[in-house]
A and B are shown apart, each in its own frame.
Chain A
């Protein structure tokens, strides 16, 4: 649970992410997705409740828990006055990896994410999509068991999006767990095994993709669960 001043941003979220699942956290803007994920990885202290990562309490035993997670926060700056290679190397060293492991993984990651050419450009001069990719690389570098990604597909061009999808699918196939927030429903529908829908700080629905979707498309299910409005056609007639 998290309160900002008087506004209850997240209220009693009880979410179990099965190990090995590809988990999509859906919700309209302001639903509390980012707040929930931030509390789960130790970026934001909850007012009540706890978060467990593979059995380790994030707030009671942060060192163990944080070593198992790779995080890509949204709307957070990177150390953007380093260039791409420097940034990745820095993250590897922070995670305590050996230099030769870092050398190999950094080169490979830059290659796969098509950032090798930009390895010497300062991250501050990257485009939005490139920043997403380098942030994802930072989260992957120490081979975590769990990936927590906040809006990984926002501002990413289709080609990079496909690359990211590939990497994540392979990661899950290899036994990793991914939870990510998004409102790009078609990506969620294509990738996820499990889905949860949040609105106004609460979990509205949770289950496997088929359970949540039922007979409808995910979009129809989402709008119905969240309670959106449908245009009647009479408003904005001046446009």
Chain B
């Protein structure tokens, strides 16, 4: 049965590529990238097992933990989950739950990230075999395989758990908090690494590694070392720990799987009939908003409402809020800052990053709409107007977050005089990023599957998403470079000028971007609609 699922997954993948060279190219690029990093990590782990160097010997514990955390967090904050095998499609088939679970797990194990992880960690098993003979190698291999299963299961269980939470409108606030806490767990890791980097001493690093080795994150990757050292009790303990966690995760996944299978049918309790609002239809539509009663105002209000009502859009906003808030905290309060603060230029560079990151959420704005975009096409809305309304609505929600990041940074650094520069640079970067992302949204849109899971994406689009966002992430900062240079190296005058210049620069860039992208949109409306309409 599991074999059937594997075949199904491979066939769906293959059919998805049929007649779409761009998608194949993306896939191959992603594969090459994954191979490259996988091979690098393989060599690192191999060296860790065989070199006998003290520092390197800690690599399995730290590297394994990082890998596991990446599996936990990446789907949530960035990549989404490949829902090629959507559990809902099996709802009508008479498959026992255990078999379905096993099959879906096998399906989830087939994929580029899993292959790259396996390639990387197999360095541990090979290393253990070289150092400690075949028995140690076998133990290492078991650890590596269990580790992979643990990672995949964890990402599945957590995302489907979250999907359920984000779907119900009542629990979305709770979900936001939990997501924030999860992302915050990046902090401690950062802390551990940085305290190591500051050569606090091998003792401390080793004690942390010992702790990590007994968490489910690190345990499966350290058993190879135990076996080489002949510590069979530790091997048994760690493997038992891993297996226990795997069983627990599988159980959690199976409970959320059930709701995913009946999900779309039984859903809908969340909205219901809201409290009766009096007034004429237009008054009800605009509520207290003072947007003009025109097509522009209508789009503005609808976009605002959609950023808050659509789980996918909400997830992207929350992600930016969390990352945006934690970045300055980590850089200025964490051990990286230590006693001395970041140099101003570096701080400003991170502000360029924050500004750019703020703009990326709009890069697939039409993909969020899906085929609903047809309404705009049929009504013949001018592209410039459309993009202006969308950019305005998005900025209305994102700029307050951006401003609080700036405020937080200034407070943490304790130099109010830096405010103009720290504010002007991200504003400029946001403007240029917005310009790039508006173009991206017109030229590089991609369809999102019509499921309820806000983390679900189509196979291969993870790579497409990354490449496109990467392009915007490079082009945006490059375009914002003049303001950065002025603020960072212009002395006190440049630093003070950075705010007005940055504001004007960002506004101008965004305005130009909306104009040019709007003209492109006018020429491409039907093509864009076809790009964002999910294939069935």
Is chain B a partner of chain A in the same complex? yes
Question: Interface of A with B (CB < 8 Å)?
Answer: 5, 41-45, 62-63, 65-67, 69, 71, 73, 75-83, 85-86, 88-96, 99, 102-103, 106-107, 120-122, 124-125, 138
Tell me whether B306 and A41 are in contact (CB under 8 A).
no
Residues of B within 8 A of A45 (CB): 526-527
Tell me whether B285 and A85 are in contact (CB under 8 A).
yes
Q: Residue B294 at the A interface, CB < 8 A?
A: yes
Q: Number of B interface residues at 8 Å Cβ cutoff, please give it.
A: 45
Q: Which of B108-116, B137-145, B366-374 contacts A (4 or more CB under 8 A)?
A: B366-374
Given contacts A92-B282, A124-B268, 9 further A-B contacts (CB under 8 A): A67-B380, A82-B305, A85-B284, A90-B302, A93-B298, A107-B280, A120-B273, A120-B274, A138-B375
Residues of B within 8 A of A103 (CB): 280-283
Hey, what's the 0/1 contact readout for B1-44 against A, CB within 8 Å counting as 1? 00000000000000000010000000000000000000000000
Query: In the bound complex, how far is the Cα of B378 from the Cα of A62, in angstroms?
Result: 9
Residues of A within 8 A of B283 (CB): 103
Q: A93-B294, A125-B271 are in contact. Are A66 and B526 (CB under 8 A)?
A: no
Hey, what's the 0/1 contact readout for B285-298 against A, CB within 8 Å counting as 1? 10000000111011
Q: A86-B285, A89-B298, A103-B281 are in contact. Are A71 and B19 (CB under 8 A)?
A: no
Question: Interface of B with A (CB < 8 Å)?
Answer: 19, 268, 271-274, 276-277, 280-285, 293-295, 297-299, 302, 305-306, 309-310, 369-372, 374-382, 450, 525-527, 529-530, 533
Residues of B within 8 A of A78 (CB): 372, 375
Residues of B within 8 A of A94 (CB): 295, 298-299, 375-376, 379, 381
Closest to B283 in A: A103
Tell me whether A88 and B380 are in contact (CB under 8 A).
no
Residues of B within 8 A of A106 (CB): 281
Residues of A within 8 A of B280 (CB): 99, 103, 107
Q: A82-B302, A120-B277 are in contact. Are A91 and B295 (CB under 8 A)?
A: no
List, sorted by A's number, 17 A–B pairs whose CB atoms are closer than 8 Å: A42-B526, A43-B378, A43-B529, A44-B529, A62-B380, A63-B382, A66-B379, A77-B370, A77-B450, A81-B306, A86-B285, A91-B375, A92-B282, A93-B295, A102-B282, A107-B280, A120-B276
Query: In the bound complex, how far is the Cα of B382 from the Cα of A168, in angstroms?
Result: 30
Closest to B381 in A: A94
The list of the 3 closest CB pairs from A to B, nearest first, reads A93-B298, A66-B380, A103-B280
Q: A89-B285, A95-B379 are in contact. Are A76 and B374 (CB under 8 A)?
A: yes
Tell me whether B293 and A99 are in contact (CB under 8 A).
yes
Query: In the bound complex, how far is the Cα of B450 from the Cα of A182, in angstroms?
Result: 26
Residues of A within 8 A of B529 (CB): 43-44
Residues of A within 8 A of B376 (CB): 94
Q: How far is the CB of A13 from chain B (nearest CB, A)?
A: 17
Residues of B within 8 A of A124 (CB): 268, 271
Q: How far is the CB of A221 from chain B (nearest CB, A)?
A: 32
Residues of A within 8 A of B305 (CB): 81-82, 86
Tell me whether A43 and B526 are in contact (CB under 8 A).
yes
Query: In the bound complex, how far is the Cα of B275 from the Cα of A83, in angstroms?
Result: 12
Query: In the bound complex, how far is the Cα of B280 from the Cα of A96, in angstroms?
Result: 17
Residues of A within 8 A of B526 (CB): 42-45
Q: How far is the CB of B7 from chain A (nearest CB, A)?
A: 25
Query: In the bound complex, how far is the Cα of B306 from the Cα of A81, in angstroms?
Result: 7
Residues of B within 8 A of A80 (CB): 372
Residues of A within 8 A of B299 (CB): 94
Residues of B within 8 A of A81 (CB): 305-306, 309-310
Residues of B within 8 A of A71 (CB): 378
Residues of A within 8 A of B370 (CB): 77
Query: In the bound complex, how far is the Cα of B298 from the Cα of A90, in angstroms?
Result: 6
Query: In the bound complex, how far is the Cα of B280 from the Cα of A69, in angstroms?
Result: 26
